[in-house]
Amino acid sequence: MQVEQERLAKLRYKIEEANERYYVLDQPTMTDAEYDSLMRELLDIEHKHPEWVTPDSPSQRVGGFVTKEFPKVRHLEPLLSLDNAFDAGDLREFDRRVRSAAGPVEYVVELKIDGLTVALSYENGLLVRGATRGDGEVGEEITANVKTIPTIPLRLKETVPRLDVRGEGYMPKASFAKLNQEREEEGQPTFANPRNAAAGSLRQLNSRITAQRKLDYFAYQMLGAEEPEVKSQTDVLAYLKQQGFPVNPEYKVFQNIEELISYCEGMAEARHRFPYDIDGLVIKVNDLAQQRELGFTAKSPRWAIAYKFPAEQVETVVEDIMVRVGRTGVLTPTAVLTPVPVAGSTVSRATLHNLDNIRDKDVRIGDHVILHKAGDVIPEIVRALPEKRSGREKVFDMPECCPECSSPVVREAGEAAHRCTSITCPAQQREAVIHFVARDAMNIDGLGPAVIQQLLEAGVIKDAADLYALKFEDIIDLERMGKKSAENLLQAIADSKERGLAPLIFALGIRHVGEKAGKILAKKFGSMERLQEATADELQGIPDIGPAMAESIAHFFRQESTEDFLDKLDRAGVKMTAAESSRPSVFDGQSIVVTGSLQRWDRQQIEDLIETYGGKAAGSVSKKTAFVVAGDKAGSKLAKAKELGIPVLTEEEFARLLEEKG
């Protein structure tokens, strides 16, 4: 028995060493036949002794686990997206903002892999969870699928108490080509690009399929690490590599913005030389202390930016220009194009933004134009080709009257936008209702644009608040609306009353206020009534709420129409308060850091407890930290707290504090 266990341990070591040398170091030490022989022997022993199977065994990479759904998981800290830069001017402006706030800086530039964000969690050196980014705060657990990626370590080189890592899961070009060839031969639809293929593979319910897709991974960020003492992004990359993670070696350090710009522009030409797709570069302030000093906006870090490469360009024809009226009354011209494939999809529409943009580019109906996808996402006309004109092309003018309600269209001085002057414009109402019922807002399933259009045209509703007065007889005669669908829709409307304050704030469609800001405002004010009373100055004092957003919020709530709308929601029983806690705000607004290995709580439990009692569970120690809760083997965060003179509590002291004040 002991001999067999020793053989099993040796097999695991040999196989993982072979995996690292083959996949990470690109220095294979054995033939495929030798590797397969070792793996077969390992599987035979584990089949005989299933009680010996451990989470870090190489056998756990082969897949086969089938699940009905992916559990939700909250990330250790928000996985924010990045602001984008598209040219040298954007990079210089980013550099100006950074240096004006932080002084002299050094930048590290990394390749922006075109894949899917994957967060990994390790406890005591073992991989315990893999998760997608989700909305940045809550993702989906895909641990079984993550384990099939051979470059991801199942066990770290050192037994670190807790380490969360952010990186990119991706599909190499060779794997993508092979997968599409196989799908084509089997008569299945092919993937548009490696990113879509990677995303689909990592969200497979059967991890055996994921294992067959030959995915890979690059790690680039530590989240709430307990060890080691790292002071820069380059330190982070070195430490991750030391722990066995694959780290992309193609990164550069710059002190001079012009040298950085030159490198970025050169890489735009060289991007196709890599065995994986990249759609840009990520520029980060290298010093972690300066990163903390620069901080974050509601959506992105102020210390990093993504430089997006110029996109693929193709030629097509503008068949027409149509005008759409949005929920704020802005008229947006959109080019109707001869369908053309570009950057992985077929494009037949492209926004022209406003009349100034049309005039600057001299785009006419009937023109041949050059098209690309801005940031590889948004279709955009780059320029017209006047040399191909036949003389039958038509110059476009914005309509003098709204195409939806025939009200006058105006263009205010200093604005590029043309707006419909009617606050009762049906297009504005329609778009406002569509936004209100969206999944991230009030999440009313069954209320698509077509149903909303019918309700408005029938005069059954005038705005989103009227949805809560709908009766069965109001909707049963709508097109394609059966008895069961009508009942389900009414139930979905009723259920939405309990969505809570944060989704409701977002649903109101206040200019500049997104989903993240809605959560911030709900947590700060607790009720719609309190938010209505807030001044622009008070709003601007909230972290992540800037001057433009603050003034927009204050202006929105000053409108009589807003008060009438909210009154209707209140009378309908829509919940307009945040979830109340029976517990007092013991830590009201305090920033608290948890570090080390805990005995009484796991990390998520204690951080949820801190937030329940009104505090903020922070990922790093700074001068603003109220106190630190330290468990066993606490590392650099504990040292930092002592250096700054910040109080340090044990778990027992923290528990007593809750008992005394709670």
Whether 418 shows a pLDDT value over 50: the answer reads: yes
Compute φ and ψ for 109, nearest 5 degrees. Answer: -115, 125
Q: What is the pLDDT of residue 227?
A: 52
Q: Cα-atom radius of gyration of the chain, to the nearest Å? A: 28
Give the integer Cα–Cα distance in Å for 229 and 231.
Answer: 7
For residue 358, give the nearest of 307, 317, 398, 311 by alpha carbon.
398
Give the integer Cα–Cα distance in Å for 388 and 369.
Answer: 9
For residue 157, give the nearest of 125, 128, 134, 184 by alpha carbon.
125
Instruction: Output b/e per residue, 568-600; b: 16+ Cβ within 10 A.
Output: bbeeeebbbebeeeeeeebbeebbbbbbbbbee
Angle at 485 between CA 482 and CA 491, to 5 degrees: 140
The amino acid occupying position 176 is F
Which positions ≥6 away from 409 have C-beta within 8 Å? Answer: 331, 398, 399, 400, 401, 402, 418, 419, 420, 421
Model confidence over 153-192: pLDDT tens digits? 999 998 888 899 999 999 998 888 888 877 766 666 778 7
In 147-263, the DSSP E strands lie at: 162-170, 216-223, 252-254
**Beta-sheet pairing, 409-410 with 368-374:** unpaired
The amino acid occupying position 225 is A
Give the integer Cα–Cα distance in Å for 113 and 159.
Answer: 29
Lowest mean per-residue pLDDT among 58-67, 81-90, 198-207, 384-393: 58-67
Give the integer Cα–Cα distance in Å for 610 and 204.
Answer: 35
Average pLDDT for the chain: 86
For residue 603, give the nearest of 240, 43, 152, 224 by alpha carbon.
224
Q: Which two tokens stand for residue 468?
A: 């809560």
- Is the entire prediction scored with pTM above 0.85? no
N residues, the chain? 662
Contact 514, 298 (CB under 8 A): yes
Angle at 417 between CA 413 and CA 419, to 5 degrees: 95
The amino acid occupying position 478 is L
CA dist 117 → 17, 168, 405, 512, 627 (Å): 26, 5, 44, 26, 32
Q: What is the pLDDT of residue 159?
A: 85
Contact 283, 305 (CB under 8 A): yes
Instruction: Output b/e per residue, 323-337; b: 16+ Cβ within 10 A.
Output: bebbbebbbebbbeb
Lowest mean per-residue pLDDT among 153-157, 426-430, 604-608: 604-608
Give the integer Cα–Cα distance in Å for 128 and 153.
Answer: 11
Residue 64: band (very low, low, confident or very high) from pLDDT cuts 50, 70, 90: very low
Delineate the domains of the chain, giving CATH numbers in brackets: 2-61 (1.10.287.610), 84-308 (3.30.470.30), 313-410 (2.40.50.140), 426-496 (1.10.150.20), 501-572 (1.10.150.20), 591-661 (3.40.50.10190)
Please give the residue that has the higher pLDDT: either 601 or 545: 545
User: Which residues sit opposite 315 in a β-bridge?
Assistant: 370
Model confidence over 103-140: pLDDT tens digits? 999 999 999 998 999 999 999 999 999 999 988 888 89
Give the integer Cα–Cα distance in Å for 372 and 390.
Answer: 24
Model confidence over 211-266: pLDDT tens digits? 888 899 999 999 865 555 789 999 999 999 999 999 999 999 999 999 999 999 99
Is 112 noted as a catalytic residue in this protein? yes
Model confidence over 468-487: pLDDT tens digits? 999 999 999 888 888 998 99
Q: What is the pLDDT of residue 66?
A: 45
Average pLDDT (35-56) is 75
What percent of the chain is modeled with pLDDT above 70? 91
Model confidence over 518-563: pLDDT tens digits? 888 988 888 999 999 999 999 988 877 888 889 989 988 988 888 8
Q: What is the pLDDT of residue 270?
A: 85
> DSSP state, 24?
I
Give the integer Cα–Cα distance in Å for 54 and 50.
Answer: 9
Q: What is the 3-state secondary structure (H, E, C) of 534-601?
A: CCHHHHHCCCCCCHHHHHHHHHHHHCHHHHHHHHHHHHHCCCCECCCCCCCCCCCCCEEEEECECCCC
User: Which residues sit opposite 167 in a β-bridge?
Assistant: 118, 219
Consecutive H or E run containing 120: strand 116-123
Average pLDDT (55-61) is 71
The alpha carbon of residue 403 and the mean position of all alpha carbons in its chain are separated, in whole angstroms, by: 36
Average pLDDT (575-601) is 75
Please give the residue that has the higher pLDDT: either 205 or 133: 133
Please give the residue that has the higher pLDDT: either 118 or 659: 118
Q: What is the pLDDT of residue 63?
A: 45
Among 14, 112, 524, 640, the one annotated catalytic: 112
Contact 264, 279 (CB under 8 A): no
Within a 10 A sphere around the Cβ of 155, how many other Cβ atoms?
A: 19
Contact 230, 221 (CB under 8 A): no
Within a 10 A sphere around the Cβ of 53, how many other Cβ atoms?
A: 13
Q: What is the pLDDT of residue 375?
A: 52
Q: Is the peptide bond before 228 cis (omega within 30 degrees of 0)?
A: yes
Give the integer Cα–Cα distance in Å for 354 and 334.
Answer: 9
